[in-house]
Structure 1
Amino acid sequence: MTPSFDLIIRNARDMTGKPVSVGIRDGMIAAIESTESTVEGAGAEYDAHGQTLGSGLHDHHIHLLATAARMESANLSDCRTEDAVIARLRTHSGDTNAWVRAFGYDERVAGLPDRDQLDIWLPQQPVRIQDRTGGYWLLNSAGLARLGKQSLPSCVERDADGRPTGRIWRGDKWLRERIGGSPPSLAALGQTLAQWGVTGVTDAGASNEIDEAKLLAGAIRQRLIIMGTEALPNGEGYALGAVKLLLDENDLPPIEQTVARIAAARALNRTVAAHCATLGELLFYLEALRQSGGARTGDRIEHGSVIPESLIGDIAAAGLTVVTQPNFIHDRGDRYRAQIDKSELNDLYRLGSLLRGGVRVLGGSDAPYGDANPWIALRAALDRRTGDGAVIGAGEAVNRSAALALYQHAPLTVGAPADLILYDWPEETGSLGEVSLTLIGGDIVWQR
C-alpha cells in the first residue's frame, strides 16, 4: 500500500551535500530517504531545487517583548554625536501626549543624561531612552511626571536632595506596570524570525511570571520556552524553562540569597540559569552552585561574556551549558577592541575552546541587545569578525557544522517534529544564509 503524507520535500540536500527527501505526516517527520532514491508516497510535494534541508533554528536567549517594542521605537545605536541623538528623537516626536521611546543609546555620546539634559533634548513630550546595555532607562521630566506621585522604588535613582534624576536601573517590569498601555504586538517579530528560519525561541526574562506568560504564549508561531522567576507556572502554549538569576557585579546579593533561590528551583524540579556578563558574576555563580551541592544537567551560564581559559575545565566538569552570543563579536567587537586590553580579548564570547574542552554550548541573540538575525551570529562563529572586519579570538572560530549545532537541536530523524528550513548558505567568507521555506509542526509559516 502506498503511504500517504501531508507534504513531501524532494530534491533537497543535507548539510554534507548529499541528496535527501522527507515525508511529513501529522506535523512529524514520517520518512527520510538520504540516498539518490527518494521518499515514495502520495501527498503535496515541494521541490527544493537542491537547497539545503535542515532542522529549524532555535534562539536560546531572546527577550521577545523588548525586541517587539524596539521594532516600534527610535534606534539610536548609530548616533555618534549629541546632535544626532537629538535629531533622531525629534524625528520620532509628534503627539505631545504620546511617549517617545528610544533604544541603543551609547553613553560615549554624552554620558548617561539626567532629566535636565533630556529636557533640553526633548522638553515637551515624555521620553524614555534605553541605553545600549539594556540596564538603564533614562526619562525626562515629562516622562517622570507620568509615573505619578506614588512612592518610587529603589531602582529609581535620586540625587542628594532626594529628587529623581531620571535614571532607572533594572526597572523594566516596574516601569512597564507603572506606565501601563498596550504591550507591543509580537506578530511582526514572529514573522521576521520565521523568514530567518527561527522555529523556536527561549525568552530569557528574569522577571517573567504569569502575566508575561499570558502575553507571550500563542503570540508567535515559534515553539516557546519561557525562563523567569520561581513563581512562573506551567501553562499552555509554552514549555517551562530555567529559573533566571539576574546577577549584577555592582550589586551582587548575599550569596546565601542566591543559594536559597537555587534550592527553591531544585524543589520545583527546575534548572537555573544565571546572567554572567562579567568574570565577577561568573565566579559568584559558580560558588553559589558549589554551595548548593553542585550544578545539575541543564543549568546554564547565560552569555559567558568573559571566561578565562583556566575556568573551562571547571565548567565542563560541572556539566554546565554556556549560552553564548557570537553576534556580539560582530555587533560590539570594535568597541571591545577600543576599550579592553588586547591580552583579554581572547576571553570574550568563547566558542571553539569551550567545545574542545567538553562544554555544551548553545547560541542566542540576546535581542534586542544583540541582532536577532541568527545568520549574523552564525557568520561570526565562523570568522570572529567585527563590524569593521577585525578578528577577535581567531582560535574561537568553529566550522559550519559546529556553528549550526548551536541553533539546531538534532539532525533530521524520523519521529521528530517537522520544524524544518530550506536554505542556502554560500561558502564565501562573510556570507549570510538565506531561507526560502520554514515549517513549524509541518505547517508552512514562511515561503519566499
Structure 2
Amino acid sequence: MTAAASADTRFLIRQAQLVSGECVDLRIAGGRIVEKANQLLLGGDERLIDAASCALLPGLHDHHLHLFATASAGASVRCGPEDVADEEALFKCLRAQLRRNADPIRGVGFHESVCESLDRHWLDRCCDDRIVRIQHRSGMMWVFNSAAIAALKLSSDEVLPEGAERDAHGQLTGRFINLDAWLGQRFQGPRQSLASLSAQLASMGISAVTDTGVNNNLATWQSLSEQLESGYFRQRLLVMGNNALHNIVGNERISVGAVKLYLREARLPELDEFTARIQDAHEHGRVVAIHCVTRVELYFALAALDEAGGMVGDRIEHAAVADSYALEILADLGVTVVTQPHFIAERGDQYRQDVDIDDQPFLYRGAGFLKAGVALAGGSDAPYGAVDPWASMKAAVNRRSKSGYTFGHQENLSAQQALALYGGDLHRPGGGLRELEVGQLADLCLMDCDWVTVLDELDARHVAKTFCAGQPIYERANNKC
C-alpha cells in the first residue's frame, strides 16, 4: 500500500454499530475518518460499504510479536509437546521430515518435556548428514546437530561467546543459549516474505503490529521497510530494537518504538549498568521495553526503572509472574504491561508441572493489573505463541488450560476488557479500547455480527473486513457486509 493509493481511496461505511450500540455512518478519505454522523450522503467518487448494523471495531493491534521469526516458523517443523508427545515421537517426526525433502530442517516450539537429552549427539543419531537446528519455545535456546555446527564455520582458535555450551571435555553440546544475534550473523540468508503472515493477521482484524526483536537494528529496519514498500506487509508497524535505531525517522506506516532490553535471571547484569541503558534510551527520546518472565527479573527491572526515572510509555514485556507488591510498584512507576494471556491456554498444563506452586497464582495476571491501576495490553509473542488475538481474548476471560484447569479465576477479564488488550493505541498501548473519532487513521475491523455477539463469542470467524489507514487489507469472501 502506497501513501498515494491510501490518499485516493474513499469509502462511506453505512450504519456501522459502535461499542455504545449506536449505529452511524463514517466517511473515509485520505486514509482517515473524515466524517461521522447518523446519516451521510454517498459521494460520487465513494465506494459504499453497508455494515448492516454490524459491529465496527478499531483495527486490532498485536503489541508484541517477532515478524520474521513467525514467518520462518510457518515453514518449520513443530517440535513442541502439543505436536510430539515424547522423545520417540520427536525422532519419528524429524525422520519423516527428512524423507519429505532434502532441505535443512528447522524445528520450533521445542520443550524439554519432550526430550530432556536433546543435544547435537541426539540429533546426529536422527540425522548426521543434513543441517538440523531446533529452537526452544522460549526463544532462548537453539540446539544444532553436527552438520549445523559445521555450517557455522568456526575456526579452531575462535573464542566463542558465552552461551555456546560445552561438555566436560570442552566439546560443543550443540546448545546455544541466548545467542540469536550471533547465530543470525552466521546463518545470513534471504529474509522470509511476510506476505502470508500479513494476510493471516489481516484476516483476524489486525491492522498494526509491534515487532519486539531485541536485536532489531538498521538492517532489520531496512528489511521491514522493503516488505512494506513491496506490499508484502500491509499493516502499520512499530519497530522496537537496539540503540542503532536511535536516530531513525519513521512515518505513519513504520516508526521506531522502544529500546528492547532482555533479562535472564540466570545471568543478570549489574544494576548500575542496566540503569544506565535505560537512561540512555530516555535521553534519546525512546522508552524501554523490558523482557521479564520471572519474579526476580521483574523486581530487578523495577529497581532499575525506579533508579533511572520512568518515562511515560516504559513497558514490561510478559510480566509472567507478578505478585501484589510488584503491582504496586508498577502502578507507582506508571509502567505499561504487555502480556500474553493465551499462554495459560497453550501452556497451562505444563506450567502446573514446571512453575513453583507459590508463583502459579500470579501467572499472566489480568484483573489484578487493572485493579492496581496498571495499564495492560496484549501481544501474541509469535512465533512463541499463537497469532490469533481472539483466542488470547478468550483465554483472558476464562483462564483455562487445555485440560480445563482454571488459573486464578479472580484474574478473569470481562470480554470488553479482553478486547481492549488489542484495541488500544499502537504507540501507547494499555489505554483501553479506542473510540472511532474524526481525524483518526482509518484502522478498522468490520464484523459480520452485532456487538453483543462479538463480546459473547470473541471469535475471529466474525471478521468480515479489515482496513489499515483507509485501505482494505482483508475482505472475506461471500460476506454480507
1:129 aligned to 2:144?
no
Alpha-carbon displacement from aligned partner over 1:127-150 (angstroms, at most 9, x marks no partner):
000012111100011111111133
Is the 8 Å Cα contact of residues 6 and 25 (structure 1) preserved in structure 2? yes
The two structures, once aligned, show a CA RMSD in angstroms of 1.9
Aligned to 1:234: 248
**TM superposition shift of 1:21:** 2.2
**TM superposition shift of 1:95:** 8.6
Instruction: Please give the alpha-carbon distance, in whole angstroms, between the structure 1 residues aligned to 2:36 and 2:360.
Output: 44
Which amino acid in the other structure matches residue 444 of structure 2? L
For the structure 1 residues 112 and 211, does the alpha-carbon distance in structure 2 shift closer, same or farther, using more than 3 Å as the test?
Answer: farther
Aligned to 2:199: 191
**TM superposition shift of 1:17:** 3.0
Instruction: Please give the alpha-carbon distance, in whole angstroms, between the structure 1 residues aligned to 2:352 and 2:171.
Output: 38
Alpha-carbon displacement from aligned partner over 1:312-356 (angstroms, at most 9, x marks no partner):
121111100011111111111121123335553220111111111
Aligned to 2:468: 440
Instruction: Please give the alpha-carbon distance, in whole angstroms, between the structure 2 residues aligned to 1:95 and 1:158.
Output: 32
Instruction: Please give the alpha-carbon distance, in whole angstroms, between the structure 2 residues aligned to 1:343 and 1:154.
Output: 32
Instruction: Please give the alpha-carbon distance, in whole angstroms, between the structure 2 residues aligned to 1:354 and 1:323.
Output: 11
Aligned to 2:19: 15
Aligned to 2:410: 395
**TM superposition shift of 1:396:** 1.2
For the structure 1 residues 280 and 18, does the alpha-carbon distance in structure 2 shift closer, same or farther, using more than 3 Å as the test?
Answer: same
Instruction: Please give the alpha-carbon distance, in whole angstroms, between the structure 2 residues aligned to 1:15 and 1:112.
Output: 52
**Between 245-254 and 333-342, the greater mean CA deviation after superposition:** 333-342
Alpha-carbon displacement from aligned partner over 1:83-115 (angstroms, at most 9, x marks no partner):
211222122225986320010112012215111
Q: Describe the SS at the equivalent of 1:323.
A: strand
**Between 233-242 and 254-263, the greater mean CA deviation after superposition:** 233-242
| TM-score, length basis structure 2 | 0.88
For the structure 1 residues 95 and 376, does the alpha-carbon distance in structure 2 shift closer, same or farther, using more than 3 Å as the test?
Answer: closer
Instruction: Please give the alpha-carbon distance, in whole angstroms, between the structure 1 residues aligned to 2:9 and 2:90.
Output: 55
**Between 123-132 and 97-106, the greater mean CA deviation after superposition:** 97-106
Number of equivalent positions: 441
1:418 is aligned, of 442, 451, 459, to 442
For the structure 1 residues 52 and 430, does the alpha-carbon distance in structure 2 shift closer, same or farther, using more than 3 Å as the test?
Answer: closer
Aligned to 2:367: 352
Aligned to 2:69: 66
Which amino acid in the other structure matches residue 62 of structure 1? L
**Between 45-54 and 407-416, the greater mean CA deviation after superposition:** 45-54
Instruction: Please give the alpha-carbon distance, in whole angstroms, between the structure 1 residues aligned to 2:394 and 2:127.
Output: 39
Which amino acid in the other structure matches residue 24 of structure 1? I
Instruction: Please give the alpha-carbon distance, in whole angstroms, between the structure 1 residues aligned to 2:14 and 2:249.
Output: 37
Q: Describe the SS at the equivalent of 2:98.
A: coil
Q: Describe the SS at the equivalent of 1:375.
A: helix
Aligned to 1:164: 172
Which amino acid in the other structure matches residue 138 of structure 1? V
Which amino acid in the other structure matches residue 230 of structure 1? N
Aligned to 2:315: 300
2:274 is aligned, of 258, 271, 290, to 258
For the structure 1 residues 116 and 321, does the alpha-carbon distance in structure 2 shift closer, same or farther, using more than 3 Å as the test?
Answer: same
**TM superposition shift of 1:427:** 5.0
Which amino acid in the other structure matches residue 121 of structure 1? C
**TM superposition shift of 1:180:** 2.0
Instruction: Please give the alpha-carbon distance, in whole angstroms, between the structure 1 residues aligned to 2:89 and 2:74.
Output: 20
Instruction: Please give the alpha-carbon distance, in whole angstroms, between the structure 1 residues aligned to 2:140 and 2:63.
Output: 20
Aligned 1:261-410 pairs, distance under 5 A: 261-292=277-308, 294-409=309-424, 410=434
1:155 is aligned, of 151, 157, 163, to 163
**TM superposition shift of 1:274:** 0.6
Which amino acid in the other structure matches residue 48 of structure 1? A
Instruction: Please give the alpha-carbon distance, in whole angstroms, between the structure 1 residues aligned to 2:420 and 2:24.
Output: 19
1:222 is aligned, of 221, 232, 235, to 235
Aligned-pair identity in percent equals 39
Is the 8 Å Cα contact of residues 9 and 470 (structure 2) preserved in structure 1? no
**TM superposition shift of 1:388:** 2.5
Which amino acid in the other structure matches residue 13 of structure 2? I
Instruction: Please give the alpha-carbon distance, in whole angstroms, between the structure 1 residues aligned to 2:221 and 2:404.
Output: 40
